């Protein structure tokens, strides 16, 4: 075998190995999705959207309570987290820039992004649930918002920095005050990126279970009271999945399927916005 | 050693003993620059890269203030006051002294909104007035015919040359006294360049123009006065034809004949 033949052979082996690894990696995703679709679609029916939780054995049981609860928890977290995240990202990109404080905030935010979510749940338990004396939707949403903020903060910071400095200068050169430059020119230039960050942030917290366990806790019944424990798809899924009852397990599959599709959808939409927003 | 022409006509700006030091720099980037800028005429600034011509240009609308730590010394007189005064109202100043950048800076909004931006900042809300003034600005910037049927379209869909004329329309819409051009054609093709040059010459009826350019031919084609800068100093300022044909300074002579630069 000549040296060239040997190199070609090594090349082929490496190519085959890396392709195989990529296939294995992505295979798990499709495996998970496949199982979810098979079990989840089978468990879907209209009752799920009409009825709330019921003891095992009742035909009229559904997930209405968890679906609405999930929407409230994530919606409230979005209302709290998005403005804070975007404003903090704006500070970093437009005001803090390369100052020590800005770098410190960026570093801390990166650390927060990788913090175990259950730790954030425990923290909210200590500072919100304990003083209030009971679980609440507020506590759950605050925990989710804390997880969401560093994601939105960082994407906002990154996306605003992509807006060319000359565009800012051009607005200043027309006599625009700084807040106008940011709102009219910088935000507009980065809106696709910021929106993507928001969607990815929502998708990230939408699948969280641990921080809800001891903040919003769970409930098997429909409620919209923010000062009460609130059901969520994730915790409901957890409870139903580990139960010994076949009908509860079915509901668990349905919850898993609905939640996964929601998060998958958000991720896809987020990426599409970024893709088409940049193309403009 | 500098040879500065005495301008008999009215001046739009008077630079006196102007020094500028960037943040953290040991030495000033501009040294004792004294320069009159004639009214309703075009003054070109030429010189090799790093000579300070853009730095000087960006002092006229206090653009350097966007980045903290830069220091001005001396005086730039405009409308009877020193605009380097720390109390100068920069928002007002920048509506009087507009700027066109090297790369077109169309905002991510419609063509109409781009041109109306400066006027809206000044609080003009009246629809008819906005419409009229946007149309006039676009006509003055010689781009009305190309965009009149698509004012609602995204400005980023225009070509580079069109975007640059749009930026000029946006700048003149607020009716400034002075327009600063920072190498406005260096990112454009020859035909667009020709269009911009023609426009610049037309504009001097209404505004005083200072243009920084790398291109000596461009300075010769468009300007009435030319200033040659070198290493942060204004070496010579004169009538353009005189400066290019019979320069008074040896350095100017060497630069325009291509001995360095």
B-chain CB neighbours of A171 within 8 Å are: 107, 117
Sheet holding B30-38, edge to edge: B30-38, B11-21, B71-78, B81-82
**Contact across the interface for A171 and B98, Cβ inside 8 Å:** no
**Helix, strand, coil distribution of chain A in percent, nearest 5:** 80, 0, 20
Between strands B225-230 and B233-239, the pairing is: antiparallel
**Contact across the interface for A173 and B156, Cβ inside 8 Å:** no
What CATH superfamily is the domain B3-105+178-256? P-loop containing nucleotide triphosphate hydrolases (3.40.50.300)
Question: What is the CA B51 to chain-centroid distance, rounded?
Answer: 17
This prediction has a pTM of: 0.86
**Average pLDDT, stretch B236-241?**
95
Nearest to B206 by CA among B170, B182, B172: B172
Q: Write the CB contacts of B195 (distance below 8 Å, at least 6 apart in sequence).
A: B142, B161, B165
Round to whole Å and give the CA distance between B229 and A99: 35
| CA of A200 vs chain B CAs: smallest distance (Å) | 24
A29 touching B (Cβ < 8 Å): no
- Given a cut of 80, is residue B8 above it in pLDDT? no
**Pick from B101, B117, B174: CB nearest A169:** B101
**Contact across the interface for A189 and B108, Cβ inside 8 Å:** yes
Residue ranges of domains in chain A: 3-43, 49-279
Between strands B178-182 and B97-100, the pairing is: parallel
Residue ranges of domains in chain B: 3-105+178-256
- Given a cut of 80, is residue A280 above it in pLDDT? no
Instruction: Please tell me the total number of residues recorded for chain B in this structure.
Output: 261
Look up residue A185 and give its two tokens. 């020119």
pLDDT at B1: 56
B-chain CB neighbours of A167 within 8 Å are: 105, 107
Residues A17-75: tens digit of each pLDDT: 999 999 999 999 999 999 999 999 999 999 999 999 888 888 888 999 999 999 999 99
CATH code of A49-279, in short, is 1.10.3720.10
Buried b (16+ CB within 10 A) or exposed e, B135-170: bbbbebbbbbebbeeebeebbeebeebbbbbbbbbb
**Contact across the interface for A188 and B98, Cβ inside 8 Å:** no
Residues A80-127: tens digit of each pLDDT: 999 999 999 999 999 999 999 999 999 999 999 999 999 999 999 999
Residues B137-186: tens digit of each pLDDT: 999 999 999 999 999 999 999 999 999 999 999 999 999 999 999 999 99
Specify the 3-state DSSP secondary structure of B8: coil
**Contact across the interface for A184 and B102, Cβ inside 8 Å:** no
Residues B35-53: tens digit of each pLDDT: 999 999 999 999 999 999 9
Listing DSSP states for A178-241 in one string gives HHHIIIIIIHHHHHHHHHHHHHHHHHHHHT--HHHHTTT---SS----TTS----HHHHHHHHH
Give me the long-range contacts of A240-243 (CB less than 8 A, separation at least 24): A243/A56
- Given a cut of 90, is residue A275 above it in pLDDT? no
| CA of A79 vs chain B CAs: smallest distance (Å) | 27
| Cβ pair A212, A235 in contact under 8 A | yes
Mean pLDDT of chain A: 93
Round to whole Å and give the CA distance between B18 and B58: 13
A-chain CB neighbours of B94 within 8 Å are: 172-175
Round to whole Å and give the CA distance between A252 and A239: 8
Cα–Cα distances (Å) from B182 to A13, A65, B116, in that order, read 56, 63, 22
Look up residue A108 and give its two tokens. 């801390």
| Cβ pair B73, B19 in contact under 8 A | yes
Cα–Cα distances (Å) from A111 to A49, A107, A117, A208, in that order, read 39, 6, 12, 18
- Given a cut of 70, is residue B56 above it in pLDDT? yes
Residues 171-210 of A with CB under 8 A from B: 171-177, 180, 184-185, 188-189
Residues B79-111: tens digit of each pLDDT: 999 999 999 999 999 999 999 999 999 999 999
| CA of B129 vs chain A CAs: smallest distance (Å) | 19
- Given a cut of 50, is residue A279 above it in pLDDT? no
């Amino acid at each position: 075998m000549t040296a060239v033949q040997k190199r070609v052979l090594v090349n082929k082996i490496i190519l085959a190995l890396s392709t195989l690894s990529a296939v294995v990696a992505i295979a798990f995703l499709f495996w998970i999705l496949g199982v979810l679709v098979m079990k989840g679609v089978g468990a879907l029916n209209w009752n799920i959207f009409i009825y709330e939780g019921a003891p095992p054995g009742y035909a009229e049981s559904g997930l209405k309570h968890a679906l609405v609860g999930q929407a409230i928890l994530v919606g409230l977290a979005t209302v709290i987290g998005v403005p804070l995240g975007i404003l903090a990202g704006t500070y970093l990109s437009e005001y803090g820039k390369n100052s020590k404080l800005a770098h410190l905030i960026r570093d801390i935010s990166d650390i927060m992004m990788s913090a175990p979510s259950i730790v954030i749940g425990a923290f909210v338990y200590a500072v919100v649930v304990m003083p209030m004396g009971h679980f609440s939707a507020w506590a759950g949403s605050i925990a989710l918002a804390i997880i969401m903020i560093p994601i939105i903060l960082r994407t906002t910071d990154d996306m605003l920095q992509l807006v060319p400095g000359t565009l800012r200068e051009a607005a200043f050169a027309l006599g625009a005050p700084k807040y106008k430059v940011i709102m009219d020119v910088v935000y507009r230039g980065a809106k696709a990126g910021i929106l993507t960050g928001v969607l990815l942030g929502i998708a990230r917290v939408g699948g969280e279970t641990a921080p809800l366990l001891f903040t919003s806790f769970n409930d098997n019944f429909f409620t919209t009271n923010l000062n009460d424990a609130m059901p969520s798809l994730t915790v409901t899924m957890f409870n139903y999945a580990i139960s010994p009852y076949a009908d509860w397990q079915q509901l668990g599959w349905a919850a898993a399927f609905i939640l996964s599709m929601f998060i998958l959808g958000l991720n896809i939409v987020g990426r599409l916005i970024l893709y088409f927003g940049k193309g403009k | 050693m500098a040879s500065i022409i005495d301008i008999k006509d009215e001046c739009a700006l008077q630079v006196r003993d102007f020094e500028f030091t960037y943040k953290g720099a040991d030495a000033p980037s501009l040294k004792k620059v004294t320069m009159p800028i004639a009214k309703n005429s075009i003054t070109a600034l030429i010189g090799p890269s790093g000579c300070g011509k853009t730095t000087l240009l960006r002092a006229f609308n206090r653009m350097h203030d966007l980045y903290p730590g830069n220091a001005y010394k001396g005086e730039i007189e405009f409308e009877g006051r020193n605009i380097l005064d720390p109390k100068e109202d920069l928002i007002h100043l920048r509506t009087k002294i507009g700027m066109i950048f090297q790369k077109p800076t169309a905002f991510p909004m419609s063509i109409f909104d781009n041109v109306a931006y400066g006027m809206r900042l000044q609080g003009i809300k009246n629809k008819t007035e906005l419409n009229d003034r946007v149309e006039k600005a676009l006509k003055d910037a010689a781009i009305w015919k190309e965009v009149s049927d698509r004012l609602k379209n995204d400005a980023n869909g225009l070509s580079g040359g069109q975007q640059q004329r749009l930026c000029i329309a946006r700048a003149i819409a607020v009716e400034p006294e002075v327009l600063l051009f920072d190498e406005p054609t260096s990112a454009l093709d020859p035909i667009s360049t020709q269009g911009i040059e023609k426009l610049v010459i037309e504009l001097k009826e209404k505004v005083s123009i200072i243009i920084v350019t790398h291109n000596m031919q461009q300075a010769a084609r468009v300007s009435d006065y030319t200033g040659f800068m070198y290493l942060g100093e204004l070496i010579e300022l004169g009538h353009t034809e005189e400066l290019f044909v019979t320069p008074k300074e040896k350095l100017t002579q060497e630069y325009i004949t291509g001995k360095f630069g």
